[in-house]
Amino acid sequence: MTSAVERIEDIIRAWRLQKDALKIVRREVKRTSKAGGVLELDLSNTGLEEANADIVDHDIRECQQSADDCAVLSMWTVFERLVFECLEAECKKMTCSPIEEFNQAVTKKVVNAVEYWKIDEALDLLKPLTGSDDVGHAKQIKRYRDWIVHRNLRKPSPAKIDPISAKETLIHLARVIDARNH
């Protein structure tokens, strides 16, 4: 099974490739448009076939931002799954030596309910393993993830999280969690 760290690294590799490909296309659009305002790229069978250079440039910049947001969202999804798997594993340890029937029932209820806990509460449980600062960074990523998904324009947008800083934080936390589980 692929670890969360490997999956996050795969997401970053794909994101970097997307960003580089978009840079190349944007660079070529700018270069060819300087030569006379008409795109000389072979854009047949694309949605860009009849677009002018300014529109293509604008669309590429929006696509670059979307790639950033999708990378953060994807990495968060992988990390969140890891957190809940870690908590489930920790809860299952409680079933190793139940004392009585009541203890068994409570333990079973907790194990079954972990999946439905709020992620902020689950993250707080990681503080003894990772420290408050690391959990705080994860919560900032989570707030940005929520904004990406919901885009409630009546609420101010949180601090922008770039894919590289999200990767660093989430991989660090994933390694701490993995060390705990092995």
Would you call 157 helix, strand, or coil by DSSP?
coil
Residue 81 has pLDDT above 90, yes or no: yes
Which pLDDT score is estimated for 176? 94
Please give the average per-residue pLDDT across 155-178, as a whole number: 94
Residue 104: predicted pLDDT: 80
pLDDT above 70 as % of the chain: 88
Range of the domain at 101: 4-181
pLDDT recorded at residue 47: 67
- Is the confidence at residue 52, as pLDDT, over 90? no
Counting the structural domains of the chain, the total is 1
Mean pLDDT of the chain: 87
pLDDT tens digits for range 6-33: 999 999 999 999 999 999 888 877 776 6
**Residue 45 and residue 160: Cα distance in Å, rounded?**
35
**What is the average per-residue pLDDT within 126-136?**
93
181: closest CA among 111, 80, 104, 84? 84
Lowest-confidence pick of 39-48, 50-59, 96-105: 39-48
CA 42, 48, 52: angle at the middle one, nearest 5? 95
The per-residue pLDDT for 167 is 98
Tally of helices (H runs) and strands (E runs) in the chain: 7, 0
With a cut of 80, say whether residue 172 has pLDDT above it.
Answer: yes
Full-model pTM: 0.86
